[in-house]
Structure 1
């Protein structure tokens, strides 16, 4: 306690000296701060007075007086203190007006009052007083200038004289102000050194006195400590003296240091609890951790003892390694059994249950005590319901392990599949003493296996059989039909125009439609029939146990009717149809691959000839399919071999009968087959992706033909070019048109692009952008076959649309068919209201011509005027009286048939 009190006194003395030094430093900081403000104020006052002398602005005079007031406030405080009779409040107020920080003001008053003769302070005050007269003269000059400017503007000579005097005063004040600043800074530095030496000296003296006192006190207690240490270190157990409040080790004996693996002084100050890996550090069993990471099981007993005035816990730690090893060995068997995730059953030599673990109880819901003394196989059978055979137990008794699937019964009577493994524990004579069975619930595993098998054999979208599974089931149906001398049939179902729906709405709507189609197909089948999906919108149906393939006709017709009904999907009502091909065993094939291929060929014929129809397979269909394949192969080389040609069908003005335009129509001149019609090779070109190259060739050839006719001085005609849906939707479509026009040098307004409604529909949201681009090019657009597809009047408002072509299917019934008359007149009325140019195609009779002329149609095409002709025939048609002398050609109407 004396040492503690002495230490407190030393610390208090040092803190008091430090506080005093801080207060002096604050005063010096106030000196420096005040000096800085005084110097700045007097400099700014000179500047403001000089500026006022030059210009006479009141603002400059006001600024001078503010800065002069700061200078005078510091001077007023200084002179008041020097007089010896002053008011502390007045002086502090003057320093505050001078900008001195408030904390430093009392110290400054103290120094000016009692230590104005201190080194550097004396010199600084002398320099300060030396400029008092000059600063006072600055005010006199200000007052004089103020009076002069108040009466009149002073002369230049007066201003120069005053400014010269101000400059002289500034020159006198400035070096003294700098000397004042230097003395103040040096004084602060000197005083800081003095303070540091004083604090250091006092602290050193106080520390020496405290150390001398400590030496005498510690010598007295050393003898007592040595006696205590002898007893402390001789103990067989580890002993820790622990501060009861903080839990930190105060001392430890040699045994404790040896167990921990460090010296005793390294243990001091450590939390006793940090030495224990587990368990309590005070009472009970725990594990003591060594410095090398080794663990020692120990038992701790603690008691409180008085160590001087401190409450200390004496912890005696005893090594119990041997006892722990024995207890651990007794627990291993029980803990191992309880910790196994699989169910474990232990039975005696009579196969009666003695023990089960918790995992088995969770699996079966049967508590261990309920199974005790029951037979191991009482709640288990083979998967087919038979009891476990005797041969199983004989094999296990012979030394083999048995593993297999069994059916296990739960407490509630339900059963589940279980994987069971049985082995035997033998006595010294090799006889089975216990049976150990390990069981695992394989319900999820079997369900996963079945789900994977289903995914491997069924379409993930529709749930129908995949191609491989369908072919497997078809092979089984063929085998059954062969044994019963019956028949089987395969229906190949393909949706009509599914791609248009998929592209027009979204792929999500398309997928939803396929799911609904699959549901309707399943709804028309019997339980023994099979439906499959082998492509995007291609489905197959297997009908077994038939007497002949013709029995499949009823199912096929039911499927057509079911798929023709509208589908309601979200906010849409969609209409689709299907084309179905039928092939049967044994007439049309003896294996699944052949039947599917032949049904596919029959479906293709149904789609090509009619759609929404069905066809039975005939051998001729395969010949047609082979012909199409060969044609596709030859079509790839047709462009490079220059086998295409253009024919031009005139378009006449109905009122005058003059030819005003021609439509370019592509033909394929096959070297062996002759002329191949477009409806035969165009679909193949679209499926092969060649249609874009063909359309580009047509565009360039047609533009080049216009140039040739212009060079022959034929009247300028409008050239109409058909563009397919694939070309119109391609990114290179617009650049291709622009390139063809530029290369040929043909005005854009003479080119007309004919698009079907399906082509516009395929482009979707980009339609308006494409039409805008065509409009900017100056190329007109004609809607071909209007009214025959997915009609939308919104297309007619697109920017580039200038022509409306009325399809021949509406013209054929004119003027006798009332429906065709109404539709045609409605189209003409729409075109007039939208200011669209109308063109009727397929006119073959004078009656049709007269009706359309009266109805207001502007142009017409058809065999009544002319068939599609080669370029030279068009030239003769336009100038039938052209002579070899080079007379100018004239535009004339064609002769009607």
Structure 2
């Protein structure tokens, strides 16, 4: 050890006593640093506890806030009717079941209680003593108000006050909202503060320590320990934290006899509350004495020995050599002390370091002697902290704190240091002595402890820790939430309290055998909550071992998979069953059909497939709306199920298509019986939400294996048989035969050719004149499409138009008809624009499918603008069904069309759902009476009455009337008796090409 130039003591005795005092001082400093370290450790634990309590309270209030917001949303969604209030009361009761920290939920409107989970809703609660009006909600908390703690278990009724003698207490929590009509509502939840007290007690704080939950004014909400003596310091600490806009505040750490304690304060970030933990360091001294009693005893013996030795030396006047040996011994103690000791001169240059310094820093003594300690700086500590330390030291004070330093090899480490000045008799600082110890491992352990605590507390999965005998040692909050058991209720017990009774003892034996073999098990277990409810959970169990490798216990992580299993069931049901009718969908139908085929193949029996398509369902859907159509489909499903055997399957394949699978078919009469029952049942009237509807169905039947050996073939053949039944007049059934395959093939080929026909220009238009009743004037001409097939010749629109409407081709085809018709109008204008005659309008038929797409008006606008035509040059013919589809969209398009000057005509009037309201609502100008009323007009009095009535109705509504299908003079003579309708039919002119029509118009012009 280096010798220092110090003033020689005036006498040998003073030198000895000085050495003794230094030794005792050094020991005293060491003990004091040890005590300060103990104090700091307690302060750190208190700060950690404050953060843990603050985090738990914040999460609890956040969960409570979400619960109250959910109740608020449900209140706002209703009209506070008795039914709504009753539903909300039941919702509040359910909320209490899953929120053990709540005892009561109340909803107040004005001063009247409308919902109360504990009292009769007619009994109002005493709002004046709750303290909610004094609460100032934080803007981040969406309005949560925390009231004044009260005695009692539930909120006092109006006119009553808290039960001051009660050992229970409550905290009223309020949340303001508004009803759907705008009235102000107040939701009040009664919070059980013992929920926090149990949590605080479980933290294993020292008995002398106190915990307080207060508002920002220091008013206590919850406390552990006496609050009065600490209240001024708690309030001061909270105000300091608020002034600094900090989350944490620390009161003064004075160690005077009056205030031998410290305070750690945490502010809740979302709520006007603070958590303060008061650490009583009188108890720290006792703890430290207990922990260091061995060391203190040894040091006491050492001090006594040194004192006795010094006294003995003084008394006996032993030689200076013996004293030198004792000093050398002391220097050896310092040299080999596990504590780092470094001595610097007043300017900070290092003069001495012990062996521990070399071991911990990596620097040898020769490398640092004469250097400044900043050689160890890592750069992580701000310069202002070093400046503050230096100010304390030069003022003669002692500085304690932590350094983040750098090892010689570049690695970083933490150390705790105490630096004090050495002052001579003249009061001058001669040296600085630094006592330091590494704390890197301690800080790492503290950080791991904090992270482990956070993960354990915030994990969404339940965590249960047991000893090797399966006795529960610890559970997290998610365990309490899932099982309903509090930690205090399960500690020391086995997981058997959760058993559902659904698993055998062999099951549990298998689990433990796998745990023993693999130290791991994962699987699904059904358990029982505290309230008796059974639920499934997914469990992962792992064995845990002590450092020696011996089994110490088990850790189980599990989650409630009730919702997941429910969702899986829902998904499976949705994947296999129709959502509207509850019948098997196409997916399950295919599976059932394959099963029936497989069974028939094994048992050498037959099976049948009935393919059903509803007749006139589209009419019901368009007339009464989709909701009514859905009701009809549901009733169809019920009727079909009543027509089959238990072994049969009824499925909905989509839209208005159904199928029946009949397995184990022994005789064909069974099929006839089921089909006839279905035809009869579906033809009965349907009562649909105030409407009465009539439909029928067409049924195609295919037999396995006669009509197909695989399911796909069987479905195709049954479908072909169904189309044959429709062609036969509907409301009938038909069996598949090979001729149907040919019809289907032709139908498919026609559809393929139709797509190519538009590209090849095989479609063309013909025009049929519409005459005045006297047959003298052509008022308009109707554009009619024709198809000239290169092999089959001319194909009737009755054959290909239905196919086009079933596919997307109707849109392309309809647009082409509009373009060609407008082109012909332009041709008429060019030929007869200067002639002194009225040029006939061109009438264009537009499919309802085109209107549903919504672009008819745009196409007409475009073509009229491109050819410089007026809307008055054309007419648009629509069917009655188009008016009953998407009324808003149809009306908007028709209104746009009429605004261009185009007249609207209803084609085939009287054959559909003829309604006077449609004639009034839509901008219709013309009615076309269908040919079916004209065919028997001469002989059928009913047809005469209908036609006369329609013409009279049209006249009264100022609508023009067109009668189509007039083929005889007798029909025309009768029609002239009913007024002056316009005439269209073979009697006056057949449909003709554009050039023939032009010749006809020219010849008519020549006669003028």
TM tier, smaller: 0.5 to 0.7
Does 2:960 align with 1:833?
Answer: no
Q: 1:344 to 1:813 in 2, by over 3 A?
A: farther
**Residue number in structure 2 paired with 1:313:** none
- Once the two structures are TM-superposed, the CA of residue 543 in structure 1 deviates from its matched residue by 2.6
Instruction: Give ranges in structure 2 of 5+ residues lacking alignment.
Output: 1-24, 41-227, 237-248, 267-275, 289-399, 405-413, 416-441
Cα distance in 1 for partners of 2:853, 2:234 equals 83
| Match for residue 667 of structure 1 among 786, 808, 815 | 786
1:274 CA displacement = 3.1
Do structure 1's residue 273 and structure 2's residue 262 form an aligned pair? yes
Q: Deviations over 1:128-155 (max 9, x none)?
A: xxxxxxxxxxxxxxxxxxxxxxxxxxxx
Match of 1:779 in 2: 902
Q: Is the 8 A contact 1:652 1:660 kept in 2?
A: yes
| Pair 620,737 (structure 1): closer, same or farther in 2 beyond 3 Å | same
**How much has 1:413 moved relative to structure 2?**
10
Question: CA, structure 1 residues 778+399, in 2 after alignment: closer, same or farther (shift >3 Å)?
Answer: closer
2:658 alignment partner in structure 1: 539
Report the Cα distance in structure 2 between the residues aligned to 1:265 and 1:394, rounded to whole angstroms.
59
Is 1:889 the counterpart of 2:878? The answer is: no
Q: 1:685 aligns with which of 795, 799, 804?
A: 804
The yes-or-no answer on 1:485 pairing with 2:601 is no
CA contact (8 A) 1:703 1:744 kept: no
The corresponding residue for 1:789 is: 912
Residue 408 (structure 1) shift: 6.9
Against the structure 1 CA distance between its residues 718 and 617, is the aligned structure 2 distance closer, same or farther, given a 3 Å change threshold? same
Q: Matched residue of 1:539: which SS?
A: strand
Distance across 2 between alignment mates of 1:574 and 1:347: 73
Distance in 2 separating the partners of 1:836 and 1:396: 89
Residue pair 1:397, 1:431 contacting (<8 A) in 2 also = no
SS at match of 1:835: coil
Partner of residue 654, structure 1: 773
Classify 1:739/1:472 alpha carbon distance in 2 versus 1 (closer, same or farther; 3 Å): closer
1:618 to 720, 734, 737: 737
Give the whole-Å Cα distance in 2 for the aligned partners of 1:272 and 1:577.
91
Q: CA deviation at 1:621?
A: 3.2
- Structure-2 residue corresponding to 1:452: 571
Deviation at 1:399? Answer: 6.9
CA drift at 1:873:
4.7
Separation (CA, whole Å) in 2 of partners of 1:783 and 1:488 = 48
Cα distance change on mapping 1:293 and 1:362 into 2, 3 Å:
farther
Cα distance change on mapping 1:553 and 1:867 into 2, 3 Å = farther
User: Residue 832 of structure 2 is aligned with which of 710, 727, 731?
Assistant: 710
Asked if 1:583 is matched to 2:572, the reply is no
Quick check: 1:801 aligned with 2:933? no
Answer yes or no: is the 8 Å Cα contact 1:714–1:878 preserved in 2. Answer: no
Structure 1 runs not aligned, ≥5 long: 1-228, 251-259, 297-321, 883-887, 892-897
Match of residue 98 from structure 1: none
After TM superposition, give the deviation of residue 750 of structure 1 in Å.
Answer: 5.1
**Alignment check: 8 A CA contact 1:549 1:583 kept:** no
Change (3 A) 1:439 1:711: closer
Change (3 A) 1:621 1:272: farther
Task: Check whether the contact 1:650–1:662 (CA below 8 A) recurs between aligned residues.
Answer: yes
Q: TM-score, normalised by structure 2?
A: 0.49
Q: Is the 8 A contact 1:698 1:721 kept in 2?
A: no
Quote the offset at 1:574 in angstroms.
5.3
Q: Is the 8 A contact 1:699 1:737 kept in 2?
A: no
SS of 1:454's equivalent?
A: helix
* Cα separation, partners in 2 of 1:587 and 1:622, compared to 1, 3 Å: same
> How far apart, CA to CA, are the structure 2 residues paired with 1:530 and 1:548?
18
**Residue 529, structure 1, aligned to residue 648, structure 2:** yes
- The residue that corresponds to 2:821 in the other structure is 699
SS in 2 for 1:788: coil
Does 2:716 align with 1:597?
yes
Report the Cα offset of residue 788 of structure 1: 0.8
Change over 3 Å in CA distance of 1:426–1:529 after alignment to 2:
same
In structure 1, the partner of 2:878 is 755
1:733 to 842, 848, 856: 856
Q: Give TM-score, length-normalised by structure 1.
A: 0.54
SS in 1 for 2:788: strand
Structure 1 residues 520 and 365, CA gap change in structure 2 (3 angstroms): farther
**1:843 is matched with which residue?**
966
Quote how far apart the aligned CAs of 1:478 are.
0.8
Distance 1:291 1:509, change over 3 A: farther
Q: For residues 666-722 of structure 1, give each alpha carbon's deviation from its aligned partner in whole angstroms, at most 9, with x where no partner exists.
A: 111111111011112222333223232232134224414534763897964443332
Q: CA RMSD in A?
A: 5.8
* 2:739 counterpart SS class: helix
- Rate the CA distance shift 1:810–1:397 in 2: closer, same or farther, 3 A: same
* Contact 1:691–1:727 (Cα < 8 Å) also in 2: no
Partner Cα distance (1:344, 1:261) in 2: 35
Please report how far the alpha carbon of residue 770 of structure 1 lies from its aligned counterpart in structure 2 after TM superposition: 4.2
Number of residues of Structure 1 aligned to a counterpart in Structure 2: 606
Change (3 A) 1:603 1:293: farther
Map 1:402-441; keep pairs closer than 5 Å: none
Aligned pairs for 1:356-505 (under 5 A) are 387-388=506-507, 446-496=565-615
Q: CA deviation at 1:482?
A: 1.7
Would the aligned equivalents of 1:783 and 1:803 in 2 still touch at CA under 8 Å?
Answer: yes
Cα distance in 1 for partners of 2:741, 2:881 equals 30
Which deviations, in whole Å up to 9, do the C-alpha atoms of 1:341-392 show, x marking residues without a partner? Answer: 36778786xxxx8779886999699999999999989978886x68459887
Q: Deviations over 1:751-785 (max 9, x none)?
A: 33322212333462244454444444433332210
Instruction: Assess, with a 3 A threshold, how the Cα gap between structure 1 residues 737 and 446 changes in structure 2: closer, same or farther.
Output: closer
How far did residue 590 of structure 1 move?
1.9
